[in-house]
Amino acid sequence: MSMVDTYFMVALEIVKSAGKLITEHVKGCKDYKLKSCDIDLVTEVDKAVETTILSKLKEEFPHHAFIGEESVAEGARVVLTDEPTWVLDPIDGTLNFVHGFPHSCISLGLLINKVPEMGIIYNPIMNQLFTALKHQGAYLNDQIIHVSKVKELKGALVAFEAGTSRDADKMKVVRENFDQIISKAQGMRALGSAALNMAMVAMGAADANFEFGIHAWDVAAGTIIVREAGGVVIDPAGGPFDILSRRVLCAGTKELAEELSKTLVQYYPERD
């Protein structure tokens, strides 16, 4: 068993146990606070899940580095070095969680030398556990998963989000891309969680997904899960994916990724 396999097994138990914090609080409306704007929310549960997971990981792996969404919201810097770095979104889909729309998850990725080595996306409400380790395939609840084979946009179900920013330039691009997708693709979906959108591509339930404005913690796990399921993850303009760029496009096939990339109006947010 490799070192990364051991990291994975430890992390998996920590994530599963932290999932109980989400299921215990899923019913009813939740109190929340605003972060960057009036649609960027955080609850006490986001903070509790992050504290629980990061403190346990730090205890197990004191020499590793950590990037957590809520720690960054409270002033920590995003620093990605070659050291083993855990990247955590304690609740991806916080707005869903607040409303009780059952698509929220814990997203945890591990990068070593800036390369994704393992990913866990866990939606405890729907009992969906997506996992991947490099070169070992991707799984949903222990069953191997594969991306779809759709090659053309006209036959594709594309997942994308309006995101959590009210920036006028960004909203203009969202509207333009919405128009593009509803006129050229077979269908569109927005699950309200960047990580779960990627998981849908990994299991072949959606054929592609893109978003401008995501953060490293939204996509650290999804990147390796999609790749291990046989899909591609690139920059939306067609170049290599950069986890700090706040831009992502993934698809089941290279052909679909390229067509979608050419179709999209591009947007370049400030980097993480």
> Cβ 239 to ligand IPD, closest distance in Å?
20
How near is the Cβ of 64 to ligand IPD at its closest, in Å? 22
Q: Please tell me whether residue 208 binds ligand IPD under the rule CB under 6 A.
A: no
Q: Does 93 bind ligand IPD (CB under 6 A)?
A: yes
User: How far lies 11's CA from each of 44, 114, 121, 170, in Å?
Assistant: 22, 18, 11, 35
Q: Minimum Å distance from CB 225 to ligand IPD? A: 15
Residue number with the shortest CB distance to ligand IPD?
Answer: 161
Spatial neighbors of 129 by CB under 8 A, at least 6 apart, are 16, 120, 121, 122, 123, 139, 140, 141, 142
Cα angle vertex 251, ends 262, 10, to 5°? Answer: 140
69 catalytically annotated:
yes
Any contact of residue 89 with ligand IPD (CB under 6 A)? yes
Q: Hey, which bits of 134-231 come out as E strands?
A: 138-140, 143-145, 157-160, 187-189, 208-212
Binders of ligand IPD: how many residues, by CB under 6 A?
A: 15
Query: Cβ 152 to ligand IPD, closest distance in Å?
Result: 25
Does 91 qualify as catalytic in the annotation?
A: yes
Q: Select from 12-20, 128-136, 180-188, 206-214 the region that touches ligand IPD (CB under 6 A).
A: 206-214
With contacts defined by CB under 6 A, name the span among 53-61, 85-93, 148-156, 170-178 that binds ligand IPD.
85-93
Decide whether 116 or 213 has the Cβ nearer to ligand IPD: 213
Which C-beta is closer to ligand IPD: that of 123 or that of 164? Answer: 164
C-alpha pair distances (Å), 206 with each of 81, 151, 160 = 32, 12, 10
Question: Which letter does DSSP use for residue 153 in this model?
Answer: G
Q: Is 192 in the site for ligand IPD (CB under 6 A)?
A: yes
- Among 201, 221, 213, 202, which Cα is nearest to 67's? 221
CA dihedral 183, 173, 171, 90 (to 10 degrees): 90
Among the listed ranges 22-30, 73-81, 207-215, 221-229, the one in contact with ligand IPD (CB under 6 A) is 207-215
Which single residue is written with the structure tokens 């986890």?
Answer: 243
Instruction: Please name the residue that has the structure tokens 């998981």.
Output: 199
> Residue 46 catalytic?
no
Specify whether the CB–CB gap between 157 and 187 falls below 8 A: yes
CA distance 202 to 268: 25
Binding of ligand IPD by 216 (CB under 6 A): no
For ligand IPD, the binding residues (CB under 6 A) are 69, 89, 92-94, 161, 163-164, 192-194, 211, 213-214, 218
Known catalytic residues are: 69, 89, 91-92, 94, 218
